[in-house]
Structure formats: C-alpha cells, structure tokens
Amino acid sequence: MMADRIYPSHGTGAMNQVEIVENEDSVEILTLAPHFQAHGFPWRQLFGYGMSLMLTAMAFILVIAHVLPVTTLVPVVLTLAILQASIQLGVFMHLRESRGMAWQILVLGLGIFMASCVVAGSIWIMMFKSGVA
C-alpha cells in the first residue's frame, strides 16, 4: 500500500511529497525525516575553530620552544591532541546531537580500532623493517 505525506522542506516554505511504503520491513519515515531548525550565527562552530587553533598553537609552541623535557612533552602534546579531537567530534561532527547514540558510538569505536591497527602496523613495520625487505 502506498501513501503520500507532505513534509516541509528546508528554508523555502515549499512542500515536498514523500512516498511511504508500508510493509513489515519499513521504517517509520518520521524518524528519518530531517529536522531543520532556524540557526543564528554559528557561535559554537567559531568557538570550536578557535579552540582547535589555540590547542594546535600551544602544542606547536611547546615543541618549538623546548619548554618541557621530552619525557614530559610527549604526554602533554598527546593530551592536547585528545582534547582537540574531542572538541572537533563534539562541535563539527555533531556527536551529541543525534537521537540514537548507539550507532555513533559503534562507528567511533570502529574508527578508533582501524586507526589503532594502522598505527600498530606502521610501528611493527618500522621496528622489523630489516626482516621485511
């Protein structure tokens, strides 16, 4: 059975028709419909961009100026990197703005796993390069 429903489109005030196929495998279209809201000036994105620039500059200055010994510098720079990644995930990747966090956590975990495999594989190759070549 086919049914037509009308949903407002983004910003124009015009209406779009959406077809809904009703069977046992269908998903309720209202949960998948985009929810556009009128946004003002993007203060949150500017804050995230400024914080990212500031954290990058801090790490750069700490490394270039040799302010800390190497044994302290590496954990500090890694902490700044983790803080910057969390800010970018929250602000630019909209990690907290979803209705279903389970998929985002699953995909984020898969991304971290894949990045860890690439880093571990690169370290493995660099450590045992004489046996590979």
pTM score, two decimals? 0.57
CA distance 46 to 68: 30
Q: Which domain holds residue 120?
A: 40-132
> What is the rounded average pLDDT of the residues 111-130?
89
Measured CA to CA, the distance from residue 106 to residue 100 in angstroms comes to: 11
Give Cα 24 distance to the centre of its chain: 33
Average pLDDT, the chain: 77
110 and 63 in a single domain? The answer is: yes
pLDDT given for residue 24 in this prediction: 53
pLDDT given for residue 14 in this prediction: 46
Report whether pLDDT(117) > 80. Answer: yes
Residues 109 and 86 in one domain: yes
Taking residues 13-39, what's their average pLDDT?
53
**Given pLDDT bands bounded at 50, 70 and 90, which one contains residue 41?**
confident
Residues 112 and 55 in one domain: yes
Q: Inform me whether the pLDDT recorded for 93 exceeds 60.
A: yes
* Residues 114 and 106: beta-carbon distance below 8 Å: no
Tens of pLDDT, residue by residue over 58-77, are: 999 999 999 899 999 999 99
**Structural domain tally of the chain?**
2
